[in-house]
Structure 1
């Protein structure tokens, strides 16, 4: 019996196409998603500096500490000023604000009085005036009263003796002269402490001229940084409103 010569058509046909490899994306066409735009970096805030003028005797330490805690992004720069320079520094914009001594009369300025200092008489350590715990102006009659060129009190001492030499240029020079056993000088308490020496002493002057410290700034320069410092000085908390 002859074998059938039939073809293999009864077998399933092999697929001619190969499967696409995994991970290969489909070609971009009309329905493809557009590429994502690159992220833009946010601009860095500009570094700022708050310039605070400080006259001799001012003690802003606790306020500076509070500023660094509350406004760390803004550098606080201390600018030393003499009392003679304080007005010009404010009106010409050398400083943003300043701790000053009154009087300071100018309608262009905001001025907030802070505290008033007791005046003291600085005398030689061996002076007979150190026998008292405090003095009155009358107790200084007959004493040589030295008034330095940077004086801030303009003391008047009835019966006081004017020096036979030119006024010292600074309070520090005046205190050095007192230490040498010549005369007395009348200053605010903070300046007596600033220029303290072992060879001098100071006593409160009960009826002497006081000195008031204040915070001042230009009305036209009333910036958020200025108001932040004003709030610190006034004792406002970070959550307090103006």
Structure 2
């Protein structure tokens, strides 16, 4: 969280998650309030919000998210990364059963919550998804990741295929638990697609009247006007 007197909001994001579209919207609506985007490792994102280092973070909720509230944003397709000449590239997508017998790389920063994944786990666990990608290129095994991570670590000698029946990989916005600041609340509105003119604090607009209701109202107004026009003036007394 920035300590400068200039108002700002610090947004963390884990590898593969792209906050660019929300940052553009923020810049359009609040050009005088700086939005600081900060990359953070998947394992550290929730703690960065808990400690106040970051105001909010875009993350995958497989890590420990105690002490923060989560707002679901979207789900990513789960894919398998393989060499370009691998048999699994014969089809546009694969199934879980297609992975049976494949050596599976499981990096230490794995973000796919899939404990029952098919395939034989490779005993060696690389440190990161990037390291695991290099091992895939070396023919050590295949790698299951969210599609955005496959794109992030793209290599010419590798490709990926969607796993049709695998669980998806959710992405969420982590915010501090409890009452939110005005800037955090505004960022929540942006990621949820709230329009600039909308606000939870504004009163609900009056419901629009139907054509019949408008006609009846006009008739009532004319009738009231006619009664006023026809109202007799004071009676003159005759001379005695």
What is the aligned partner in structure 1 of residue 151 from structure 2? 193
In structure 1, list runs of 5 or more residues that go unmatched.
1-44
Q: Distance in 1 between matches of 2:82 and 2:111?
A: 18
Q: Does 1:133 align with 2:92?
A: yes
Q: Cα RMSD over matched residues?
A: 1.8
Instruction: Report if aligned partners of 2:14, 2:42 keep a CA contact under 8 Å in 1.
Output: yes
Deviations 1:37-90 (A, max 9, x none): xxxxxxxx9412210010111111110001111111111111211221122111
Counting only pairs closer than 5 Å after superposition, residues 84-233 of structure 1 correspond to structure 2 as: 84-103=43-62, 108-155=67-114, 156-158=116-118, 160-164=119-123, 166-220=124-178, 222-233=180-191
TM-score using structure 1 length? 0.76
Q: Does 1:62 align with 2:21?
A: yes
Q: Distance in 2 between matches of 1:182 and 1:107?
A: 35
Partner secondary structure for residue 238 of structure 1? coil
Instruction: Report if aligned partners of 1:138, 1:157 keep a CA contact under 8 Å in 2.
Output: no
In structure 2, list runs of 5 or more residues that go unmatched.
201-240
Query: 1:228 deviation in Å?
Result: 1.1
Instruction: Report if aligned partners of 1:122, 1:203 keep a CA contact under 8 Å in 2.
Output: yes
Normalized per residue, the structure richer in helix is: 2
Counting only pairs closer than 5 Å after superposition, residues 45-84 of structure 1 correspond to structure 2 as: 46-84=5-43
Deviations 1:151-172 (A, max 9, x none): 01144333x22325x2111101
Q: Distance in 1 between matches of 2:102 and 2:43?
A: 27
Query: 1:109 deviation in Å?
Result: 2.5
Q: Distance in 2 between matches of 1:106 and 1:132?
A: 37
Query: How many positions carry a matched residue from both structures?
Result: 196
Query: 1:136 deviation in Å?
Result: 0.7
Instruction: Report if aligned partners of 1:114, 1:215 keep a CA contact under 8 Å in 2.
Output: yes
Distance 1:144 1:239, change over 3 A: same
Q: Distance in 2 between matches of 1:134 and 1:106?
A: 32
Q: Distance in 2 between matches of 1:187 and 1:108?
A: 26
Partner secondary structure for residue 235 of structure 1? coil
Q: Distance in 1 between matches of 2:111 and 2:66?
A: 21
Partner secondary structure for residue 138 of structure 1? helix
Larger-Rg structure: 1
Q: Distance in 2 between matches of 1:154 and 1:46?
A: 41
